[in-house]
């Protein structure tokens, strides 16, 4: 019997974008299970509660027809490598949009490897059609009642628009 491969895909996901979905789908081509770790930060100002962000991700996963046993979201506090250990993940998945993302993520990967050398980081490049998307951009558009088409999943756009975020 082969060992199941588990990776975490950590982030704030505030909110979950089509760019995040793109990276999740790529990660599911490599790993049996991807746990989206919704980070809780005391220092970062977040638009949505961790519970709401987990719910957003779960709705998108369901709407995409992705097996919820293979892609699940849960919130976590503390170090990313600690969360990876907690859920028995062997890898941390990180999406990179450009060279600036890569430099930052590389520093984080080195730091995480120093904390736990058994947990590896895998960088996945954004697809060309999602490379410009960030949660910061989405929050800005939301604050000005702009159109979210193509930036977040339609299920999420509908909910964000209906609730006025």
Phi/psi region, residue 65 (left: phi>0; alpha: psi -120 to 50; beta: rest), is: left
Q: Is residue 13 part of a domain?
A: yes
- Confidence bin at 163 (pLDDT 50/70/90): low
Q: How many structural domains comprise the chain?
A: 1
8 A C-beta contact, residue 67 and residue 33: no
Range of the domain at 120: 6-159
Q: Is residue 164 part of a domain?
A: no
Catalytic residues: 20, 44, 97, 135
Q: For 9-57, what is each residue's pLDDT tens digit? A: 999 999 999 999 999 999 999 999 999 999 998 887 899 999 999 999 9
Mean pLDDT, residues 134-156 taken together: 93
Q: For 54-83, what is each residue's pLDDT tens digit? A: 999 999 999 999 999 999 999 999 999 999
Q: Is residue 38 part of a domain?
A: yes
Q: Is residue 148 part of a domain?
A: yes
Q: Is residue 16 part of a domain?
A: yes
Q: What is the pLDDT of residue 158?
A: 84
Q: Is residue 45 part of a domain?
A: yes
Dump the DSSP string for 112-160: HHHH-TTSEEEEEEPPTTTTT--HHHHHHHHHTT---BTTB-HHHHHHH
Which distant-in-sequence residues (6+ apart) come within 8 Å of 4 by Cβ? 32, 33
Q: Is residue 1 part of a domain?
A: no
Tokens of 140: 């800005």
Q: Is residue 78 part of a domain?
A: yes
Q: Given a cut of 90, is residue 4 above it in pLDDT?
A: no
| CATH number of the domain encompassing residue 151 | 3.40.50.620
Q: For 80-93, what is each residue's pLDDT tens digit? A: 999 999 999 999 99
pTM, two decimals, is 0.93
Question: What average pLDDT is seen over the chain?
Answer: 93
The pair phi, psi for residue 162, each rounded to 5°, is: -65, -35
């Amino acid at each position: 019997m082969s060992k199941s491969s588990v990776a975490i895909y950590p982030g704030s996901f505030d909110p979950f974008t089509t760019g995040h979905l793109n990276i999740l789908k790529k990660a599911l081509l490599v790993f049996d299970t991807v746990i989206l770790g919704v980070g809780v930060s005391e220092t970062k100002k977040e638009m949505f509660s961790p519970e709401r962000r987990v719910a957003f991700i779960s709705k998108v996963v369901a709407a995409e027809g992705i097996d919820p046993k293979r892609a699940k979201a849960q919130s976590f506090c503390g170090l990313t490598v600690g969360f990876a250990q907690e859920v028995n993940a062997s890898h941390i998945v990180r999406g990179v949009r450009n060279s600036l993302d890569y430099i930052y993520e590389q520093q984080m990967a080195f730091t995480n490897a120093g904390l736990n050398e058994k947990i590896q980081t895998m960088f996945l490049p954004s697809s060309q059609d999602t490379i410009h998307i960030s949660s910061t951009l989405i929050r800005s558009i939301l604050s000005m009642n702009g159109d979210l088409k193509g930036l977040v999943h339609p299920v999420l756009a509908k909910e964000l628009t209906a609730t006025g975020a």
